[in-house]
Structure 1
Amino acid sequence: MKKILGYTIEEDVMRIMILISVVGKVKRGGESSLIGLVSFLRKYAEIHVISGGPFPHDKVTNLGFPVMPKYTALYSGLPPFMRNRFIRRMHLDPLSVRNLFFCKHAVRVIRKQPPDLIVFRSVGPWGAKIGRYLRNAYKIPFVSIEGGWKTGERETARYGPNLHISVNINVADYLKKQLPGVEVVYIPNGISVANFDPEGPKARVDLPRPMFLGCGAMYKFKRFHLAIEAVSLLGKGTLLLLGKGSEEPYLQQFGKARLGHRFKMTSVPYDEMPSFYRAADILTLPSSGESFGMAYIEAMACNTPVVATNDRNRKIIVGNGGKLIDPEDIPAYATALDQACKTDYGERPRHQAERFDWAIIGPKYLQAFEETVIRSKRNLRDFPVYRRMSKKRRN
């Protein structure tokens, strides 16, 4: 018998299998957060990671992640209405099919070494379907953790996991209303603040000050064009954008047209991001939404203030470590950038980031996992499968 966080576990060590297909293939804040979670959990449980690429852990099964270029090309050549109305709704888009094959191979590993709990991290609906099969066949409870987008998370959670964890409080509340028979909790991503030392080296960036930093995938919802407009209206300082994505050509052209030499856009390896956070005066991300927003916490851990979109999720994340605004109000956005540069935040950004350190966030995940195992042993109930939501009801 063993007690952790007040709960009694029959086995000496809880055995957890964590499945994530994109680790080793994609290196971003979310994947870095998962590495931190595993590093914390291994102190209290036996962790076996099944991944789609290399993973820094002593017990890993690397299944690889199929690329399927021919299938991707075929999918891309289909008319948009066919892709959106039929293929994606059946979870047969390239990413979903890759996750299907990943889960299929993972089942073989799970059968050989049945754990006490299976955790599917960002594996989508196929992960939940496979988890449901394993629960029915082998009585293994499963937890799904997704990235914080309403439609995608609902599509996964509707298959009735023992527990669904959302890293976005807005999405968690949405799912509780939409799927009342599913256990849903909000637990944010964590960070190893020790990896983001404010006193570490700064990137050498020969650009006019103040320097405003924007980083992440260059997609439309990130709305970096609003940051360009705000810095242009401000009349001073530089905007440095770091990242790749479909909006790169447009942002390059628009940024140069509006800001000239006060604009630069490039990409750097994730491991170099702390040096750029330290070099920046302000981090600004005017996105319409974020699955979570690791960049906010990473920048604040380097004691760099943040100017971001004002919503409930980012109020929790940013706290008093920066300013929250409506970035579509360009004059107000520019004023907020200017005021943030003039404000002495002291160590408030760093202290705000420390609230998300794994020493604080990790026990919440551990307790959620242990409670799930305990409940599954006491109550082997049937879990509902909810219907797909029509487009009219999604909002």
Structure 2
Amino acid sequence: MKVALLCSGLGHVNRGHEIFARDLFNLLHDSIDITLFKGGGSPTAREVVIDNVPRNAACLSDIHLAVSPRWKVAMQEQERLRIETETFAHGALRPLLEGGYDVIHCLEQEVCERLYGFRHLFARTPKFIFSNGGAIPAAKLPSSDFVQEHTEYNLQHSARHKAFCIPHGVDTTRFHPGIPTDFRARHGIPADAFVVISVGTICYWHKRMDYVIRELAQVPDAHLVIVGQECADTPEIIALGKQLMADHITFTKLPHDELPQAYAAADVFVLGSLFETFGIVYIEAMAMGLPVFCTDHPNQRSIVRNGVFLNLKQPGALRDALAQRDPALMRQLRERGPEIVRDAYSLDRLKSAYIEQYNRISQTQVRLPVHSLRTQLRDNMRNLLRRLSHRA
């Protein structure tokens, strides 16, 4: 069994999506024949770098879109991602054709859609898995043979006949309580400060870091630490943070290997987004023993299980929850979080589930379309509509 794991963003950005790809490859590469196809970084015998136009390329800095100024940044980000994934998919085609893979596991929907359309080119038809990292509903899923969902809630809205569920996981040898840290000293944060950490892209449109700042600015004893990737929104959000919180806010960007030190310096974790497909940062924080304050959504309740769930559309909700936090509840959450992660999200516990699914999928028969009266009528109708549209 040969498996290809594809992630166009790996080597360009460091979000939960890319962390998942790296952790999954590291988890499995000693047990199965798996090759990591990535968008950047250094190649190795088992890691192939695919030529592409990355989302952060300078040549994509002047994207012109006919959209409302309110949505301009978000739509530009989507367009950058589209260019990266489509160029990545075309760049990956040749090594995939030559590699003889049984399973092709795609983490981006555009990559999966594009490559699935080329499956008739393979000498032996591979099975395509789409990892649904965006909670895409069944009607809008890209073409694939199988779909990986990450929560039971998302599984209920997926293409049930071909979907399976394996959650994201955490390396509990790296994320656990008691890690020594000098993060506070390095960033001038008082040893007795109440530190709140939020991890994610510093933007308005998803992670809602502006909401987190406005709420924390009203909690007198709080020091806010924001760790995340930058985007076009970031300068304005940093300016807002400095305006409202002065020296009680810290912005930084860290390699994933250094992230445990930042968590270890905090007292609680918050995330301002109204929905996450999964949110690896939730379980990283829980593994570190941090109480999690997050959106009150069925998906997040099923992931976090023990946390403080809030209506984050409501101004003042996060402020009040942090200002009125119950010490007994905080102690209970600090104790329970690592236990939940060890039981449900430890990478070691998920390893056998991945191997089992890959083996099952590799042995499943898939069929290419064949010529029939039905396909002939469909093609004739498509050609007729095309000719009519050209005449119009």
- TM-score class, shorter-chain normalisation, is 0.7 to 0.9
Counterpart residue type for residue 335 of structure 2 = E
Moved more, 297-306 or 183-192: 183-192
CA distance in 1, matches of 2:275, 2:42: 29
Aligned to 1:275: 261
Determine if the alignment matches structure 1 residue 164 to structure 2 residue 166. no
Contact 1:300–1:353 (CA under 8 A) maintained in structure 2: yes
Q: 2:183 aligns with which of 204, 212, 217?
A: 204
Q: Does 1:216 align with 2:195?
A: no
User: Any conservation in 1 of the 2:112–2:128 contact (CA below 8 Å)?
Assistant: no
Give the superposition deviation at 1:143. 0.8
Instruction: Summarize deviations over 1:354-385 as a string: whole Å, max 9, x none.
Output: 22111222333322222222222xx53759xx
Structure 1 residues 340 and 298: alpha-carbon distance in aligned structure 2, compared to 1, 3 A threshold: farther
Give 1:259's match in structure 2, choosing from 242, 245, 249.
245
> Which residue, 79, 89, 106 being the options, matches 1:120?
106
Question: Residue 22 of structure 1 contacts residue 65 of structure 1 at CA under 8 Å; is this kept in 2?
Answer: no
Structure 1 residue 212, shift from structure 2 partner: 0.7
- The 3 A distance-change label for structure 1 pair 54 and 287 is same
Q: Note if 1:309 corresponds to 2:298.
A: no
| Deviation of the 1:314 alpha carbon | 1.3
Residue 340 and residue 301 in structure 1: after superposition, are their counterparts in 2 closer, same or farther (change >3 A)? farther
Give, in whole Å, the separation in 1 of the partners of 2:283 and 2:220.
28
CA distance in 2, matches of 1:136, 1:190: 34
Deviation at 1:169, TM superposition (A): 4.6
Kindly provide the CA deviation profile for residues 295-351 of structure 1, in whole angstroms up to 9, marking residues without a partner as x. 11111111122111111221122112x311112334442232245472213521211
Question: How far did residue 47 of structure 1 move?
Answer: 0.8
Tell me the amino acid that sits aligned with residue 115 of structure 1: Y
Partner in structure 2 of residue 347 of structure 1: 335
Contact 2:86/2:114, CA 8 A, preserved across alignment: no
**Preserved CA contact (<8 Å) 1:210 1:341:** no
Alpha-carbon separation, structure 1, partners of 2:219 and 2:163: 43
2:279 aligns with: 293
Within the candidate set 312, 316, 335, 1:327 is matched to 312
Q: Does 1:185 align with 2:171?
A: no
| CA displacement at 1:283 relative to structure 2 | 0.8
Is structure 2 residue 60 aligned with structure 1 residue 72? yes
Alignment partner, residue 82 of structure 2: 96
Task: Give the AA of the match of 1:372.
Answer: I
When normalised by structure 2's length, the TM-score is 0.79
Offset, 1:26? 1.8
Change (3 A) 1:16 1:240: same
Give the letter aligned to residue 66 of structure 1: V
**CA–CA distance in 1 between the matches of 2:207 and 2:285?**
17
Which SS does the other structure have where 1:268 is aligned? coil
1:350 maps to amino acid: P
User: Does residue 1:372 correspond to 2:361, yes or no?
Assistant: yes
* Alpha-carbon distance between aligned partners in 2 of 1:113 and 1:33, rounded to the nearest angstrom: 23
Match of 2:214 in 1: 229
Query: What is the Cα deviation at residue 287 of structure 1?
Result: 0.8
2:119 corresponds to: 134
Q: Aligned partner of 2:331: which letter?
A: D
Residue 22 of structure 1 is matched in structure 2 by 9
Task: Give runs of ≥4 in structure 1 deviating > 6 Å.
Answer: none
Distance 1:315 1:249, change over 3 A: same
Distance 1:70 1:260 in 2: 32
Contact 2:6 2:105 in 1 (8 A): yes
Alpha-carbon shift at residue 158 of structure 1 (Å) = 3.7
In 1, distance between residues paired with 2:51 and 2:321?
45
The answer to whether the 8 A contact 1:226-1:328 is kept is: no
Alignment check: 8 A CA contact 1:72 1:94 kept: yes
Which of 322, 325, 331 is the equivalent residue of 1:337?
322
Q: Percent identity?
A: 21
Unaligned runs of 5+ in 2: 371-392
CA distance 1:232–1:50, shift in 2 (3 Å):
closer
Alpha-carbon contact 1:282-1:340 (below 8 Å) kept: no
Task: Name the counterpart of 1:318.
Answer: 304
Q: Secondary structure at the match of 2:130?
A: strand
Q: What is the alpha-carbon root mean square deviation over aligned residues?
A: 3.0
Per the TM alignment, residue 57 of structure 1 is displaced from its structure 2 partner at its CA by 6.5
The range that moved more, 19-28 or 305-314, is 19-28
Counterpart code for 1:164: V
CA contact (8 A) 2:270 2:292 kept: yes
CA contact (8 A) 1:210 1:237 kept: yes
Q: CA 1:341 to 1:211, structure 2 compared with 1: closer, same or farther past 3 Å?
A: farther
